[in-house]
């Protein structure tokens, strides 16, 4: 596939992710507390779908790995808010089945899958492990958010979520710089600012109580 269309798909994903971050940031600044708006999760879901496709086309396992779990956490947050049920049934099924269908297609030829994702000559094994570690931490923030929110029965973005975001994003940004991946650099560079700001908003809110 031509390089430019692949980059375009990656940039589309980052537009959604940047938009979600911007929306959450603006709404939290106005409310003077950290919010978990529905639009944040809608944009997250859209961005995840496109970024997973981008990682697949680039044969970059570190990117694909990060999207497989967080994708369903986004859906869970929309469900607990009561918004996922508003999506037409066919749309819900398409959203739910997209990752497993892509996985089935990917592993239909196991040897090709392994060579593409784990023996990619363009990505040294050490760098792949480093990037995957960043994605695991970045993905774990949503597992933590899901665990934290499920215990309270509401969708929230706690301080631990933003701390994990800062650590994971820093690693991914370094990985993106080494790989000269403009999609990762732009996405994570902007995110670092907002993650730090949300930590400050949350700290300031707690200090007033």
SS (H, E, C) 10-42: HHHHHHHHHHHHHHHHHHHHHHCCCCCCHHHHH
Inform me whether the pLDDT recorded for 40 exceeds 70: yes
105 by DSSP, 3-state: which?
helix
The Cα 55–Cα 194 span in angstroms is: 24
Residue with tokens 């967080």: 70
Please give the tally of structural domains in the chain: 1
pTM: 0.77
Asked whether 17 and 195 are in contact (CB, 8 A), the reply is no
Rounded CA separation 57/111 (Å): 17
Sign of the torsion formed by the C-alpha atoms of 74, 80, 83 and 87: positive
Average pLDDT rounded to a whole number, residues 165-177: 90
Q: Which domain holds residue 9?
A: 3-207
- What is the pLDDT at residue 121? 65
Average pLDDT across the chain, whole number: 82
In terms of C-beta density within 10 A (0-12 exposed, 13-18 middle, 19 or more buried), how is residue 123 classed? buried
């Amino acid at each position: 596939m031509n390089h430019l269309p692949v980059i375009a798909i990656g940039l589309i994903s980052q537009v959604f992710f940047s938009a979600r971050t911007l929306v959450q940031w603006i709404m939290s600044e106005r409310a003077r507390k950290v919010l978990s708006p529905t639009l944040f999760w809608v944009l997250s879901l859209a961005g995840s779908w496109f970024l997973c496709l981008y990682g697949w086309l680039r044969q970059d396992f570190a990117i694909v790995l990060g999207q497989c779990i967080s994708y369903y956490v986004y859906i869970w947050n929309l469900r607990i808010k009561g918004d996922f049920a508003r999506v037409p049934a066919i749309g819900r099924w398409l959203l739910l089945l997209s990752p497993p269908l892509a996985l089935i297609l990917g592993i239909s030829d196991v040897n090709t899958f392994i060579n593409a994702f784990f023996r990619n000559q363009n990505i040294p094994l050490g760098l792949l492990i480093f990037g995957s570690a960043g994605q695991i931490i970045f993905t774990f923030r949503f597992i933590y958010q899901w665990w934290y929110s499920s215990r309270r029965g509401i969708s929230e973005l706690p301080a631990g979520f933003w701390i994990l975001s800062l650590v994971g994003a820093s690693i991914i940004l370094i990985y993106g710089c080494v790989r000269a991946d403009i999609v990762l650099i732009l996405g994570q560079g902007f995110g670092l600012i907002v993650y730090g700001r949300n930590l400050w908003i949350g700290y300031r809110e707690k200090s007033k109580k």
